[in-house]
Each structure stands twice: as structure tokens, then as C-alpha cells.
Amino acid sequence: MNYDVIIVGAGLSGSTAARVLAEKGKKVLVVEKHRHVAGHCHDYRNEYGITVHTYGPHIFHTNDAAAWKFASRFTDFHFFQHRVLSYADGQLIPFPINADTINQVFGISIGVDEVEGFLASQVAHSSFNSPPKNFRDAVVSQIGKRLYSTFFEEYTRKQWGRDPELLSPEVAKRIPVRTNRDGRYFSDHYQGIPARGYTAMIDSMLDHPNISLMLGTDWFDIREDLDAKTTIFTGELDRFFDYKFGKLEYRSLDLVLKTLDQESYQNVAVVNYPNDYDWTRITEYKKFLDEKSPWTTVCFEYPKQEGEPFYVVMTDDNMAKRDKYMQEVEKLEASGSWLFIGRLAEYKYYNMDQVISATLQKVARL
Ligand SMILES: Cc1cc2nc3c(=O)[nH]c(=O)nc-3n(C[C@H](O)[C@H](O)[C@H](O)COP(=O)(O)OP(=O)(O)OC[C@H]3O[C@@H](n4cnc5c(N)ncnc54)[C@H](O)[C@@H]3O)c2cc1C
């Protein structure tokens, strides 16, 4: 069969692109190397009736009405406001930092109108490079040394396996700091978890007569046999170019699941462990969809160097390599036959809503 478009990868970016193009009348073939769709958003219901996120906890949150509207065409969203506790100094403390966090850590009792002044005085008594040269500078310049040490320093070492001073200040852009008492992890307008799970949402996106799906197939093994006017690549950027500018580093995770004979394990879905233990966080999955079961499944996350690529590592070296690869991408995209989309193909940290919106914008170019 002849296809108008080949899409490499059935993750959220590949599936969004496939759906949009199929609705425009294009015949699309999606090639996926895993035996499942949904990429990193994949989830499944285990034998205890609990929906487990295969590659770690995923919460959909956005201020982008278009991304929310697009996702909502393929799923209902279960109302969920994410709250995270951080285990530090022997107590469970609300995170990200808000007025309650500060009061608990410092044993004080300031009001919301005093938070900004308090953080400014913490910053004033701390030393850092300005403008920030690295992750440490970026965080300390926002919240001061003490809160940085409590919540970020060791967590960052565990998560990234390197000194915070060796990480780009860009990484700290994602850290929300609140000057109020809002204990939610995200303050976005739209938040939720797909009511039947992410895999069902992606299945529904791919369910279109113009979309064919080939699972368990690495595109590099069959690329010579495929012929289409356009190819959309959502796989690894460095691999596409045969690593000619060197390998791009990823941080990986060991996700260790345990099912326990008890109804609840912790008060919230996610508890962070910045300083103690080898794991970075524990997720209790049933809390996302408020699933009822006498059992509970929890997931311990252990960051590691090798394995399935999870997170882009923002060092100067990786970013310099990325720039070189992206110059090649620009040339290919200018030819009109290629698009590179998503967290692997652009070597970029993307949330799910950002993936949808970047894909909608890029595909509109075709
Ligand atoms: C632990 C973790 C937690 C996260 N939590 C959140 C969250 O709470 N909220 C949020 O918004 N985002 C979260 N994200 C980000 C989210 O997972 C991504 O935004 C999204 O999954 C990216 O989709 P993608 O299609 O770009 O990439 P992927 O999901 O990686 O999809 C790419 C697909 O391409 C396939 N592929 C690659 N190479 C080939 C090849 N050669 N041939 C065939 N197929 C190939 C892969 O198998 C994969 O299925 C999290 C990410 C991680 C790692």
C-alpha cells in the first residue's frame, strides 16, 4: 500500500501528527518499535485493578486551551489536582515551596504577604553567580541557600548523577515557587488524568481509517523499503544522524513496583525523597484515578545512567551537540519531506501539552 506520510513512533507526538494528517485525508503509516503505543505516556491496568504508568507518573496539566481541547477529543479527564509532599528533616513537607513549606522548614509562622520578603532576605544572605551560571545559581537566586539544600541539592545529585554546578541553569526554569498557600504542584488552568488511561487516549487518536499501525518494528530496519512524500521522525535525534556529532546523553530510571496488601500507602500520589534513601520519589498509582482496591501498587524511582532514554541531560556539552544536530534538522525540514517532532527527535524536555501544541504547529506547515 502507498502512504502519503510515514510516522516514526506512536508516542504522543507521532499519534497527534497521525490523527491531524489522517483527518486531512492523508494515508498515514505509523511505525513503532515497541509492542505498545503511547510511548512514555503508556499505562495499563494491573491485576489489582490499579492503573500503572509504565514509565513513571504522568499528570496532564496545561494553560493551553488548544492542547486541552485536542486531548479532550480522545478522552474524558478525571478531575485531579496534583499534590506532592517532600520527605525532609524527618517530616513530610508540602512541595513546591509555598508559605506553608517555609513555615514548616523554618519553624516560623509568616503570612502570604510576607513570603516574598522572606525569600528575598534568604537570597540576600546567600552567595551565587548572577546571572546564574548553573543550576545551583538559578535555584539559590530564587529561594536562597537553606531551601536549596533542603529540597534541591541532593535530589539533583540523585536525579542527574552529577553536581548541580555542572547542570545548566535552564533546568531550574521548571521549578515553581509560590508566594501563596496553594499546595498544588501545578497551578495550570486545566489539569487531570485521562479517565480510562493514557494508552486508551492514544488508541482512540490512532483509531482512524486513514491510519495504519506497525508495532514491534524499528523504522531503521525497514526505512529502505518505505516510500512516502513525507516522513515525520519522533525517535532519537543522534541515532537518526548515525551519531556523527557524538552521542546525546539521557538519564534513565529503574522503576520498581510493589503491590501491598493495604488500602493506602501514603497521603498523596507522589512523595519526594530529596535527601534520604536511594530512590527519588514514591508514587502510589491508585490515587490518580481514585481507584478502589484493597491493595495498592507503589513505584520506587531509582535514577540511573544507562537504559531506556527518559530525560534530556542539559549540560553545555549535550546542548552544543544538540545545536549541531538541529542545524541538520533545519536543512532536512526545509526540503519539505521531513519533520522532527517530540522529546527524542528535538532532544528537548517537553510536557505532554507542549508535545501536542508543538506537533499541531509543525504539522500545520505541511
Ligand atoms: C518519568 C517521566 C514523567 C513525566 N511526567 C510528565 C507529567 O507528569 N506531565 C507531562 O505533561 N509530561 C510528563 N512527562 C513527559 C511526557 O512523557 C512526554 O512529553 C511525552 O511522552 C513525549 O512524547 P513523544 O511522542 O515526544 O516521545 P515518546 O513518548 O518517547 O514517543 C516516541 C516513540 O517513538 C518510538 N521510537 C523511537 N525510535 C523509533 C524507531 N527507530 N522506530 C520506531 N519507533 C521508534 C518510541 O518507542 C516511542 O514510542 C514525563 C516524562 C517522564 C520520563
Predicted confidence band at 366 (pLDDT cuts at 50, 70, 90)? Answer: confident
Percentage of the chain beyond pLDDT 90 is 91
As a whole number of angstroms, the distance between CA 185 and CA 198 comes to 20
Closest Cα to atom 45 of ligand 1:
9
Other C-beta atoms closer than 10 Å to the C-beta of 121 total 11
Question: What's the 235 CA to ligand 1 centre distance in angstroms?
Answer: 9
Distance CA 235, CA 343 (A): 8
Cell of 53: 504508568
Residue 42 alpha carbon to ligand 1 centre in Å: 9
Torsion region of 175: left, alpha or beta (phi above 0 gives left; psi -120 to 50 gives alpha): beta
Domains of the chain plus CATH, in order, are: 5-81+191-248+312-364 (3.40.50.720), 96-174 (no CATH)
Q: What is the pTM of this model?
A: 0.95
Mutate to test the pocket of ligand 1, among 40, 81, 285 (most ligand atoms within 8 A of CB): 40
67 lines ligand 1 (CB under 6 A): no
Model confidence band, residue 37 (pLDDT cutoffs 50, 70, 90): very high
Q: Are the CB atoms for 71 and 356 separated by under 8 Å?
A: yes
Mean pLDDT of the chain: 95
Measured in Å, residue 349 CA sits from the centre of ligand 1 at: 10
How many other C-beta atoms are found inside a 10 Å radius of the C-beta of residue 338? 15
Res. 266 pLDDT band, cuts 50 70 90: very high
* Mean pLDDT, residues 61-73 taken together: 98
How far does the chain reach from its first CA to its final CA, in angstroms? 22
**Mutational test site, ligand 1, from 8, 35, 58, 202, max ligand atoms within 8 Å of CB:** 58
User: Which one, of 178, 166, 124, lies nearest residue 317 by Cα?
Assistant: 166
Q: Strand 190-194 relative to strand 77-78: parallel, antiparallel, unpaired?
A: antiparallel
Mean pLDDT of 117-135: 95
Is the CB of 31 within 6 Å of ligand 1? yes
Atom of ligand 1 nearest to the CA of 58: 8
Pinpoint the alpha helices (H) of 74-207: 99-106, 115-124, 135-143, 145-148, 154-160, 198-206
For the segment 53-73, the average pLDDT, to the nearest whole number, is 98
The one-letter code for the residue type at 266 is Q
**pLDDT over threshold 70, residue 174:** no
The pair phi, psi for residue 304, each rounded to 5°, is -150, 165
Q: Which ligand 1 atom is nearest residue 345's CA?
A: 26
| Residue of the CA atom closest to atom 38 of ligand 1 | 235
For residue range 150-171, list pLDDT tens digits in order.
Answer: 999 999 999 999 899 988 888 7
* Model pLDDT for residues 208-234, shown as the tens digit of each residue: 999 999 999 999 999 999 989 999 999
Whether 55 lines ligand 1, by a CB cut-off of 6 Å, is yes
All 3 cell numbers of residue 25?
Answer: 485525508
